[in-house]
């Protein structure tokens, strides 16, 4: 009975688990005739393939060169097309970056900030258009605010910022302009106005464009002149980067023969700007794309200049060209302009600023050039001696500042040279 149970279990077990187990005193168990090993079966007939089938199998099992080539060529094309499309669609979002750094549009300037020691801060609001309010700051030294409460400021310094950030990120610059002994504005009674346009800082968050920003910048200049209308107050515009291009386009769009109402009370409504300082200004957005951002002609981004909406063509404004290339007599022609360029500026290269200086030509106003060594795009004003001395000399020649001791020495040297050249007596050589 035990032997029969064992044989029955062996017959039901899988073939791989079978063992040749013998019980003592029992004969070897024979396998069931239907469960014999497959090794005893005859081998299957060989599979015969034709030559065409063999070639097809070799072709399919090889490297798919066509797919790889299509991927290598197609992927960059798709990527470039996508990026070009995004650059065109979001171009104003890329140009006007008032949202950077993070919290730039919500963080207010703390009057107790250590950078404001010695300065008096006042928050101001300017109505630009219906529903558009520009919010910025007014800075002045505490010594001038306490000693000269009724006396008008000697200089009203209006600052046009670049395309990124807010007045908060420029507090070190403002402190340097008003407090540093190296600054030409610190020795005079100067008030500084920093009011960014829409979509910047605390101003109305409205979509920016070139026409709308020109209205905002003009509103700031109108506010500066109407708030400080005294003939003793000199109006100086200090513009940096994209703000420099905006200043040129704004002044170039104002015809000197057609007065701007309520802009300058002392000159019958015409725009009177005593001096303009351009620090690393943009010549135009298309030029920046072609010669600075994407100079390589291999990349497709180089050829997107025709799709630029806001061109900010300061180069054409400096040439005095209007729509259609016609010559116009703009307010920029009579303005004294100083071009300041950092020799290590990799964004707005010195040759681009030099091109703007040469395009300005000879107007009724002064045209001067100041090159700062070892300085780049955002730290030109940090140069110890070159920046302060150069700007001061320009303001003295523009009659914004009184001629100091150094200026008097330079004038004496120039008069001596002129006398020596005009003298008929020649020195004899021994």
- Is pLDDT larger for residue 357 or for residue 52? 357
Residue 251 has pLDDT above 90, yes or no: yes
Domains of the chain by residue range: 114-402
pLDDT tens track for 17-71: 544 445 455 455 555 555 455 555 566 666 555 556 555 555 555 668 878 887 8
Q: Specify the fold of 114-402.
A: Rossmann fold (3.40.50)
Instruction: Give the pLDDT confidence of 194-220 residue by residue, as tens digits.
Output: 999 999 999 999 999 999 999 999 999
Higher pLDDT, 270 or 361: 361
Is the pLDDT confidence value at 353 over 50?
A: yes
pLDDT at 330 over 50: yes
- Mean pLDDT in residue range 139-153: 75
pLDDT(272) > 90? no
User: With 70 as the cut, is the pLDDT of residue 93 above it?
Assistant: yes
Tell me whether residue 325 is exposed, middle or buried, using C-beta atoms within 10 angstroms of its C-beta: 0 to 12, 13 to 18, 19 or more: exposed
- Please report, in angstroms and rounded to a whole number, the separation of the first and last CA atoms in the chain: 149
Residue whose C-alpha is closest to residue 310's, from 82, 88, 159, 127: 88
pLDDT of residue 411 exceeding 90: no
Instruction: Please state whether 162 falls in left (phi above 0), alpha (psi between -120 and 50) or beta.
Output: beta
Higher pLDDT, 266 or 406: 406
| pLDDT > 50? residue 245 | yes
* Lowest-confidence segment of 73-77, 156-160, 243-247, 323-327 by average pLDDT: 323-327
Considering the entire predicted model, what is its pTM?
0.79
CA 96 – CA 71 distance, rounded (Å): 36
* CA–CA separation, 334 and 315 (whole Å): 16
On the question of pLDDT at 5 being above 60, the answer is no
pLDDT-derived band at 166 (thresholds 50, 70, 90) equals very high
Are the beta carbons of 120 and 179 closer than 8 angstroms?
Answer: no
More reliable by pLDDT, 6 or 161: 161
Question: Over pLDDT 70: what percentage of the chain?
Answer: 73
CA dist 387 and 365 (Å) reads 21
d(CA 397, CA 402): 9
Least confident residue range of 19-28, 385-394, 405-414: 19-28
Query: CA-to-CA distance for 44 and 221, rounded, in angstroms?
Result: 98
Q: Is the pLDDT of residue 149 over 80?
A: no
| pLDDT at 76 exceeding the cut of 90 | no
Q: What are phi and psi of 404, to 5 degrees?
A: -85, -165
The H-assigned helical ranges of 13-90 are 51-61, 65-89
Where is mean pLDDT largest: 27-41, 378-392, 410-424? Answer: 378-392
């Amino acid at each position: 009975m035990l032997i029969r149970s064992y044989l029955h279990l062996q017959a039901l077990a899988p073939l791989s688990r079978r063992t040749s187990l013998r019980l003592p005193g029992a004969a070897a168990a024979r396998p069931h005739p239907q469960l014999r090993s497959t090794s005893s079966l005859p081998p299957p007939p060989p599979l015969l393939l034709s030559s065409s089938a063999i070639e097809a199998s070799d072709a399919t099992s090889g490297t798919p060169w066509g797919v790889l080539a299509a991927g290598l060529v197609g992927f960059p094309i798709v990527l470039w097309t996508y990026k070009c499309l995004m650059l065109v669609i979001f171009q104003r979002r890329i140009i006007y970056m008032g949202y950077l750094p993070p919290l730039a549009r919500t963080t207010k300037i703390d009057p107790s900030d250590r950078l404001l020691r010695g300065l008096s801060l006042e928050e101001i609001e300017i109505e630009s258009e219906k529903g558009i309010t520009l919010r910025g700051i007014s800075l002045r030294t505490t010594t001038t605010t306490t000693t000269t409460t009724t006396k008008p400021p000697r200089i009203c310094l209006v600052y046009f910022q670049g395309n990124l950030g807010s007045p908060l990120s420029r507090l070190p610059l403002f402190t340097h302009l008003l407090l540093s002994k190296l600054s030409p504005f610190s020795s005079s009674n100067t008030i500084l106005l920093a009011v960014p346009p829409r979509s910047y800082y605390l101003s109305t968050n409205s979509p920016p464009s070139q026409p709308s920003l020109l209205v905002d910048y003009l509103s700031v200049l109108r506010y500066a002149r109407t708030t400080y209308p005294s003939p003793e107050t000199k109006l100086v515009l200090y513009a940096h980067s994209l703000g420099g291009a905006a200043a040129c386009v704004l002044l170039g769009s104002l015809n000197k023969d057609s007065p701007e109402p309520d802009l300058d009370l002392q000159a019958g409504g015409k725009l009177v700007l005593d001096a303009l300082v351009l620090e690393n200004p943009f010549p135009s957005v298309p030029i920046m794309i072609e010669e600075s951002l994407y100079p390589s002609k291999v990349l497709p981004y180089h050829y997107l200049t025709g799709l630029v909406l806001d061109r900010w063509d300061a180069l054409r404004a400096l040439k005095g060209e209007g729509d259609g290339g016609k010559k116009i007599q703009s307010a920029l022609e009579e303005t004294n302009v100083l071009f300041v360029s950092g020799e290590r500026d990799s964004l707005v290269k010195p040759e681009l600023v030099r091109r703007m200086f040469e395009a300005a030509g000879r107007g009724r106003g002064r045209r001067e050039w100041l090159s700062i060594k070892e300085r780049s795009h955002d730290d030109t004003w940090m140069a110890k001696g070159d920046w302060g001395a150069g700007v001061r000399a320009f303001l003295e020649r523009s009659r914004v500042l009184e001629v100091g001791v150094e200026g008097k020495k330079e004038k004496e040297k120039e008069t001596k040279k002129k006398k020596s050249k005009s003298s008929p007596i020649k020195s004899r050589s021994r």
